[in-house]
Structure 1
Amino acid sequence: MLTPLDFAVLVLYAVGIVAFGLKAGGRQTSTRDYFLGGRDLPWWAVCFSVVATETSTLTVIGVPAVAYGGALTFLQLTIGYVIGRVVVAYVLLPRYFRGELQTAYAFLGDRFGDGMRGLASVTFLVTRLLADGVRLFATAIPIQVVARAAGFEVGYPTVILAIGVVTAAYTYVGGLKAVVWMDVVQMGIYVGGAVLAVVLLAVSPMAGSWAAAAEAGKLQLLDLGMADGLGVMLTSPYALPVAVLGGAVFSMASHGTDQLIVQRILACRTLEEGRKAMVWSGIVVAVQFALFLLVGLMLWVHYGGAPLADLGLTRGDEVFPMYILNEMPPGLRGLLLAGIVAAAMSTLSSSLNALAGSTLMDLLERFGHAPETPEKALALSRVLTLVWAGVFVGFAMLFTGLDNPVVELGLGIAGFTYGGLLGAFALGLLSRRARQTDAMVAFVVTIAAMVLLIFGLWWSTETSSWTLDWRPSAAIRDTLGLRAVAWPLYPVIGSVFMVVLGSLLALRHAGADAAAERPTSP
């Protein structure tokens, strides 16, 4: 149960962090200040902001749930994450900084035209709403656990609305600078809380043992995925080849084409500092994932591998919040819970700022009526922040009935569009012949193909073959042992499909290009 000291810590932290965010934002005079922090942020702060933005609550409660219900093979993804960020740092970032771009999709506008830029921006908006809707829902999980323990029957929608209102307040005023410095503080809080949890678990009585964990396969770190054949490997998200390849391409897409991350890197002072922030974020994420996997593993040993139902839980994401609530010392318990909430607020604020920026610069200024003065542009940016906050709350409520681990759900959603986005950038870099129509047609077809693949292509362990079945029922999946394509492979398949299709469409310009290059007769 929470004590008065815990509630005092929660209230003081919530008030203090919002006040800090408002102060850290400083005075905003233009959209450059509001969306890029004046391009004067230190690389290490941007690095921590990137890490906090991409993981936050999904890491704090979702990754321990993965370890509690599985093994440590999730960590294999981070090998690919580092590789992908190195590629982005040395291939895409020079192009972003060279053109003084304010959004990732401005590159597509320069290469193909405003139509492709607008299409990519709209895709980003939808993807971000869905993926970060999961993140906002994830924040409501520990809050509801706390409320139930205090005797309050509070539903997820109420919690989601409250978080949305508080987060919108400091994002509205402080812009990206407030978001980044909030991220730095909040990351320190929830990572410090995880270290504290490891120490407390290490000295507390254990219902199970490390020998039992090893026997149950909980200590497995590497999974080559070769034992059961290629089909099973391609449906196993944490098999080593799938994790490394998928993690690398996923990271290239998320950190090279997603405005949420690119916006932060563009806030660095120089290209070299942007590269440092990008590469080091991958290393920090790997360490952070390892830490929270260790928390989940130690919780499994602590509770003797008890099933969730025996613990009175309905989903794995509640295990760590339950431990914090029931077994951490007063005061520290309240601080860590506050850190979890604040971490998610930082992710939401990042998304609000990125969505508002992309809406203004990629859509309204290109296809609508651009604000006449910098003051009007800044005012419109703040209005857009509030609008997106309302939309976010609605989208977050769509996920309250799902039972997947939220970290897998959040990462899987991005797979629908990340391949197409990365493929569009790759097409622009690799094919000089491709034009805007080629890119737009290939992009739309790629998104449709990914929807069909994700919902319709299955590997049957009974027949050892691939089968097409549009969203089969749970009974059919169980009978045939149907397994979906592993989610880390979604961006791989999508990007390759996009580049191949776009290149094929561009072949129809071969004759025209040859004629244009042929010298005229004197």
Structure 2
Amino acid sequence: MNRSVDFIIIAIYLVVIALIGYFSGGKQKSTKDYFLGSDKVPWWAVTFSIVAAETSTLTFISIPGLAYITNLNFLQLAFGFILGRIIVAVVLLPQYFKGELSTAYAFLGKRFGTETRSFASVVFLFTRLLADGVRLFATAIPLKILLGIDYPVAILIIAVITLMYTVTGGVKGVIWVDVAQMSVYIGGAIISLWFLIDVFIPGGFSTIFISDFSHKFNFLNIDFLQDPKSLFNDPYTLIGGIIGGTFLSMASHGTDQLIVQRLLVTKNLKAARKAVIASGIAVFIQFALFLFIGIALFVYYGQMEIRSDELFPKFIIENLPVGVTGIIIAGLFAAAMSTLAGSISSLSSSVVFDLLPKYFSGTDEKKNLFSSRL
């Protein structure tokens, strides 16, 4: 099958994304402009950026596979995500805004000294680099299958384009690109679902909702009410989802510079609270969308021997028409690039604000801004 149209769509997408990042970032005159966007980014854009930053290619290809082999129980985790973000909004965000802090770890510096701040920053740098290495390689897997390119080429394309708009646009550029990229990958998911239901599954929704597939729509796992052991034996339960999701979200959205940097970009505390709570609701909807794709894939394919994370890429490459496949692959790029861009920006801000002042002092904003881009 001639995929030249798909390649053209992907190339245009990558160019447009780079231009959006460059022009939306504006002119940065200081490190505050570069890393905090001069506090001029609306809360809804920050919401989109948060969701895009925490969504990787693993989300795009793995969650449909999860619903294919199980059901909707995974969605219980999102209840904990929402609760955890409410706690972050009420407890942690006031502390960040009260002290006019530049990073999540600046709060530790005020309470426990610069050594603690530096240590926390180094831990963040180390763990973020490890996590992003895994995500970047995971992105190359479906791209290798879908585009027929080698792993190093796929990784290089993602890394170079992401670096271009992150370095030139600063955090504002990253956030507005995230808004565009979330629209692309969610749009790609919706298009895939539409093709599944309207084109490939005879009877569409009515077929999906028949009794033969009713077990796929099991949402709440409350078996622990009859059998307490299920709390430890079942992978997803209501209590486990709420507790685990709450603590995970408190850690990731309350203490991780990747997310905290975005919240500090908002105009004020009220806007930051809106952004973080709304992101929890958006993640719930996003999970539901990708899980429903997995159920539709089960109805279409039936039970088959295949790795669950290969299922959605298989459907994309074998069934979707030329052009549409290009849009979906652009969505995969979007999911990967948004996470990587957020990591680059947050890693840089943590180094510049948390580590460098300890060894280098100076008030020359031009030099500081140059160091930030490096």
The TM-score range, normalised by the shorter chain, is over 0.9
- After TM superposition, the structure 1 = structure 2 runs for residues 124-135 of structure 1, keeping only pairs within 5 Å, are 124-135=124-135
Pair 1:380 & 2:371 matched: yes
Q: Distance in 2 between matches of 1:365 and 1:276?
A: 32
Q: Distance in 2 between matches of 1:2 and 1:255?
A: 44
* Aligned-residue offset at 1:82: 0.6
* Aligned-residue offset at 1:237: 3.8
- After TM superposition, the structure 1 = structure 2 runs for residues 62-101 of structure 1, keeping only pairs within 5 Å, are 62-101=62-101
Q: For this pair of structures, how many residues does the alignment match?
A: 369
* Aligned-residue offset at 1:293: 0.5
SS at match of 2:217: coil
Aligned to 1:362: 354
Which residue type is aligned with residue 15 of structure 1? Answer: V
- After TM superposition, the structure 1 = structure 2 runs for residues 75-474 of structure 1, keeping only pairs within 5 Å, are 75-148=75-148, 154-206=149-201, 210-214=210-214, 217-226=215-224, 230=228, 233-234=231-232, 236-308=234-306, 315-366=307-358, 368-383=359-374
Q: Distance in 2 between matches of 1:236 and 1:363?
A: 43
Structure 1 contact 187–343 (Cα < 8 Å) conserved: yes
Q: Which runs of 5+ in 1 are unaligned?
A: 149-153, 309-314, 384-522
Q: Distance in 2 between matches of 1:267 and 1:336?
A: 30
User: Which deviates the most, 8-17 or 225-234?
Assistant: 225-234
User: Using a 3 Å threshold, how does the CA distance of structure 1 residues 371 and 66 change in structure 2: closer, same or farther?
Assistant: farther
Which residue type is aligned with residue 357 of structure 2? Answer: E
Q: Which runs of 5+ in 2 are unaligned?
A: none
Aligned to 1:487: none
Task: Give TM-score, length-normalised by structure 2.
Answer: 0.93
* Aligned-residue offset at 1:88: 0.6
User: Using a 3 Å threshold, how does the CA distance of structure 1 residues 362 and 229 change in structure 2: closer, same or farther?
Assistant: farther
Q: Distance in 1 between matches of 2:314 and 2:362?
A: 49
User: Using a 3 Å threshold, how does the CA distance of structure 1 residues 147 and 336 change in structure 2: closer, same or farther?
Assistant: closer
* Aligned-residue offset at 1:235: 5.3
* 1:176-222 C-alpha deviation (Å, 9 max, x unpaired): 011000010111111111112221111234499654433xx432211
User: Using a 3 Å threshold, how does the CA distance of structure 1 residues 118 and 273 change in structure 2: closer, same or farther?
Assistant: same
Q: Distance in 2 between matches of 1:296 and 1:108?
A: 42
Task: Give TM-score, length-normalised by structure 1.
Answer: 0.68
Which residue type is aligned with residue 243 of structure 1? Answer: G
User: Using a 3 Å threshold, how does the CA distance of structure 1 residues 377 and 328 change in structure 2: closer, same or farther?
Assistant: same
* Aligned-residue offset at 1:2: 5.0
| Higher normalized helix content (fraction of residues) | 2
Structure 1 contact 201–299 (Cα < 8 Å) conserved: yes
Which residue type is aligned with residue 266 of structure 2? Answer: C
* 1:18-37 C-alpha deviation (Å, 9 max, x unpaired): 11211111112111111111
Q: Distance in 2 between matches of 1:5 and 1:266?
A: 41
SS at match of 2:132: helix
* 1:464-492 C-alpha deviation (Å, 9 max, x unpaired): xxxxxxxxxxxxxxxxxxxxxxxxxxxxx
* 1:295-345 C-alpha deviation (Å, 9 max, x unpaired): 11111111112221xxxxxx4222212212222232222112112202211
SS at match of 1:305: coil
User: Using a 3 Å threshold, how does the CA distance of structure 1 residues 317 and 380 change in structure 2: closer, same or farther?
Assistant: same
- Kindly, what percent of the aligned residue pairs are identical? 49
SS at match of 1:29: coil
* 1:397-455 C-alpha deviation (Å, 9 max, x unpaired): xxxxxxxxxxxxxxxxxxxxxxxxxxxxxxxxxxxxxxxxxxxxxxxxxxxxxxxxxxx
Structure 1 contact 225–236 (Cα < 8 Å) conserved: no
Q: Distance in 1 between matches of 2:124 and 2:157?
A: 25
Which residue type is aligned with residue 142 of structure 1? Answer: P
Structure 1 contact 88–256 (Cα < 8 Å) conserved: yes
Which residue type is aligned with residue 88 of structure 2? Answer: V
Pair 1:9 & 2:9 matched: yes
* Aligned-residue offset at 1:230: 4.9
User: Using a 3 Å threshold, how does the CA distance of structure 1 residues 320 and 370 change in structure 2: closer, same or farther?
Assistant: farther
Which residue type is aligned with residue 132 of structure 1? Answer: D
